[in-house]
């Protein structure tokens, strides 16, 4: 079963009990655009979750943790409670970035031990507007009395040191989720160094969707990762731990049971000039 849902499915659930809709629109190059877009128009009743302020913690001076460090669990739990998300709440998230920002929220909820269903609106807010469904500029009030109790699932998270120790180990595959030119080190618009982690293979996260933006089936996701063993430990990373999350879920849907996110990703790795860097291609498994 895919975790992407179409606009008509979401429309039928507007105002449903124990269901929270979250707008996660955000542009990495223009951080304020998402909030402004939300204030202009959003799905009625949706709350806004800002990648920089709500779905990430404060940046550290030395770059450790990357451009979007994970938020402190207690801080994130308080935010989730304020927008009505408890441990068993059904959540519908959307963005206009192909599901990447919404998948970041979904990953955070999984890490935090959320036990309810989490879905992503296929096609994002653009798909919602395309069928002329209702929109609102009214921001809902904060919710009182909802408590989210973190139960961290740290088995889906790895650190920089863990990744460094994993390089070249049998049974561990490192996947770089960025587009190929960044992986190969031909361009690097955001981080201190260009290239990739030694041994990492490239599976651009956008390939988890068809050219029309529709999320691929579990069978099609499995085909993307042909050659990898279901017994492998898979570590995914990207630039800052956001766009790797669609690959994280694509791998899970494809039947891989031991998938982990290097949350700091390339922005964390490249912040330490002592870390090894490779440019060019590496042969896929």
Q: Which positions are annotated as active-site residues?
A: 238
Query: Rounded to whole angstroms, how far apart are CA atoms 87 and 68?
Result: 24
Joined tokens for residue 157: 């998270």
* Side-chain-side CA neighbours of residue 68 (13 Å): 28
Query: CA 138, 141, 147: angle at the middle one, nearest 5?
Result: 140
DSSP assignments along 115-139, one per residue: -S-EEEETTHHHHHHHTT---B-PP
Tokens of 118: 């989490």
Torsion angle defined by CA atoms of residues 238, 243, 249 and 250, in that order, rounded to the nearest 10 degrees: -80
What contacts 24+ positions apart, CB below 8 Å, involve 66-69? Answer: 66/240, 66/241, 66/263, 66/264, 66/265, 66/266, 66/267, 66/268, 66/271, 67/190, 67/191, 67/239, 67/240, 67/267, 68/240, 68/241, 68/242, 68/267, 69/263, 69/264
Joined tokens for residue 99: 């599901």
Helix (H) or strand (E) holding 105: helix 100-111
């Amino acid at each position: 079963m895919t975790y992407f849902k179409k606009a008509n499915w979401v429309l039928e659930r507007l105002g449903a009990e124990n269901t929270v809709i979250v707008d996660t629109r955000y542009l990495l190059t223009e951080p304020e655009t998402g909030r402004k877009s939300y204030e202009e128009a959003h799905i009625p009743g949706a709350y806004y979750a800002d990648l920089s302020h709500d779905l990430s913690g404060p940046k550290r001076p030395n770059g450790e943790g990357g451009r979007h460090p994970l938020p402190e669990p207690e801080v994130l739990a308080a935010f989730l409670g304020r927008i009505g998300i408890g441990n068993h709440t059904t959540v519908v998230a959307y963005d206009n970035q192909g599901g990447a920002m919404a998948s970041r929220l979904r990953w955070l909820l999984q890490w935090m031990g959320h036990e309810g269903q989490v879905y992503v609106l296929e096609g994002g807010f653009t798909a919602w507007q395309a069928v002329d469904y209702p929109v609102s500029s009214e921001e809902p009030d904060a919710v009182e009395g909802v408590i989210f109790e973190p139960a961290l699932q740290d088995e889906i998270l790895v650190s920089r040191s863990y990744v460094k120790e994993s390089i070249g180990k049998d049974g561990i595959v490192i996947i770089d989720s960025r587009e190929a030119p960044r992986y190969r080190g031909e361009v690097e618009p955001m981080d201190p160094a260009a290239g990739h982690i030694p041994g990492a293979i490239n599976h651009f996260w956008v390939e988890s969707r068809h050219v029309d933006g529709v999320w691929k089936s579990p069978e099609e996701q499995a085909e993307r990762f042909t050659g990898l063993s279901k017994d492998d430990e898979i570590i995914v990373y990207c630039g800052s731990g956001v766009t790797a999350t669609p690959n994280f879920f694509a791998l899970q849907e494809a039947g891989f049971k031991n998938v982990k996110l290097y949350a700091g990703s390339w922005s964390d790795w490249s912040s330490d000039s002592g870390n090894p860097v490779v440019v060019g291609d590496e042969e896929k498994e």
